[in-house]
Amino acid sequence: MWSIALKTLVADRGKLLTALVGVVFSIALMNVQGGFFLGLIGKAGLLVDHGQADIWVGHRQMHNVDFPRDIPRRWVNRIRGIPGIARAEPYLLGFTDMTLPSGGFEQVLVVGVDRASLLGNAWNLVKGRPQAILRPQGVILDECEVAKLEYPQMGEIRELGGRRSRIVGMTHGILGFLVTPYVFTTYERAAEYTKKSTDMCSYFLVELEPGADAKQVCAAIRRRSPELDAFPKNTYSWISVNYWMTRTGLGISFGAATLLGLLVGMIIVAQTLYAMVLDRLGEFGTLKAIGATERQICLILLAQAVLMAAVGSLIGLAVVAAIQHFFSTPWALIVIPWWLSLSSCALVLLICLVASLLPYLRIRKVDPMMVLQS
């Protein structure tokens, strides 16, 4: 049955190509749209995902890593003694302005890390070393943000919150969900640049002892300091992502575009399958006259739908890989995890199967008598 389905499908190359275009379009749209979405929304949890901490501790009901509410730094001592915690260090985030050579200014988000552990420091450095922030006035920027900051060079002095800073390192691709560039430096200097007290911080970054259970430690932290919230890294990353998803309608707009792509793909596949069937009504009539059962006819259509979905998905994924390779940038990141590709293929398969329903209903009406009347 598969061979009949495959050979008759391939025989009609023009229509097969049209249907494949529909499938490829759906796969590409779902993956690229989804990839852009994940790339964009993933930036919301960027600091958490790369911050090297197992647990993030902050003010109660903290909901976005970039918008913390400050907590007293001394509270870090309350949690350092909790069993399972290997290390807990303060972490400071705050907005300030960088003065530009042209006389203008650009708002930046300063990240202050503990100078002993460098927990939560910049990663993916392309110039300089992470430890360079320990040098006097040392700050690390991202090279993708240099245009905004009027092209600062390594070693160049810039004013941050009216204080001197020196560019001692450059990262690649640390672009947050906000359009505000990140500037990494030490905790004390960050407090200075953001005009905050060194008695306050934004988070405590916690490293666990090997084998410690993150959820249990979080519960223990909450019990000991009810004013604080503590989440495992992945949870807080998701909370930050969810903040933007629920407050901006981002998910809905991307989802709607993806749904539209699916719908267009489904219509193309359904229309093409239907047109193919209309062209071949006589042949289906012949099969019925010869003795093909409704089930066998249905199987032929389903097999064709599966073949179209499989071939179209493979081509589509190749197209997606090419798009990702050539068009993904730190500014517009296309992140396509395996589950997205797999889900898109499964969804397209489902759509092709549903799309084959329409022609099947048409074939059901085919009277084998028609082949005796020609």
Contact positions vs another protein (CB under 8 A): 1, 3-4, 7-12, 280, 282-283, 285-293, 296, 367-369, 371-374
CA–CA dist 234, 313 (Å, integer): 31
Which residue from 142, 187, 136, 131 is spatially nearest to 166, judged by alpha carbons?
136
Question: Are 44 and 240 within 8 A, CB to CB?
Answer: yes
Q: Cβ 302 to another protein, closest distance in Å?
A: 16
> How far is residue 40 from each of residues 45, 245, 271, measured CA to CA in Å?
10, 11, 35
Distance, CA of 251 to chain centre: 11
Q: Cβ 126 to another protein, closest distance in Å?
A: 56
CA angle 240, 245, 246 (to 5 degrees): 100
Place of tokens 């042949």: 283
User: 8 or 117: whose CB is closer to another protein?
Assistant: 8
Helix (H) or strand (E) holding 208: strand 203-208
User: 147 or 372: whose CB is closer to another protein?
Assistant: 372
User: 68 or 359: whose CB is closer to another protein?
Assistant: 359
CA–CA dist 14, 12 (Å, integer): 6
Q: Cβ 16 to another protein, closest distance in Å?
A: 10
Q: Cβ 142 to another protein, closest distance in Å?
A: 57
Q: Cβ 339 to another protein, closest distance in Å?
A: 37
CA–CA dist 158, 145 (Å, integer): 14
Can you give 262-319 as a three-state secondary structure string?
HHHHHHHHHHHHHHHHHHCHHHHHHHHHHCCCHHHHHHHHHHHHHHHHHHHHHHHHHH
Helix (H) or strand (E) holding 343: helix 338-355
Q: Cβ 369 to another protein, closest distance in Å?
A: 5
| 36 phi and psi angles, rounded to 5 deg | -65, -45
User: 19 or 334: whose CB is closer to another protein?
Assistant: 19
CA–CA dist 225, 221 (Å, integer): 6
Q: Cβ 283 to another protein, closest distance in Å?
A: 5
User: 175 or 366: whose CB is closer to another protein?
Assistant: 366
Torsion of CA 188, 190, 193, 194, to 10 degrees: -110
Place of tokens 């927990």: 119
Q: Cβ 308 to another protein, closest distance in Å?
A: 15
User: 189 or 280: whose CB is closer to another protein?
Assistant: 280
User: 318 or 369: whose CB is closer to another protein?
Assistant: 369
Which residues sit opposite 139 in a β-bridge?
Answer: 167
User: 6 or 250: whose CB is closer to another protein?
Assistant: 6
Q: Cβ 374 to another protein, closest distance in Å?
A: 5
Question: Are 179 and 44 within 8 A, CB to CB?
Answer: no
Question: Are 334 and 328 within 8 A, CB to CB?
Answer: yes
CA–CA dist 111, 160 (Å, integer): 12
User: 71 or 276: whose CB is closer to another protein?
Assistant: 276
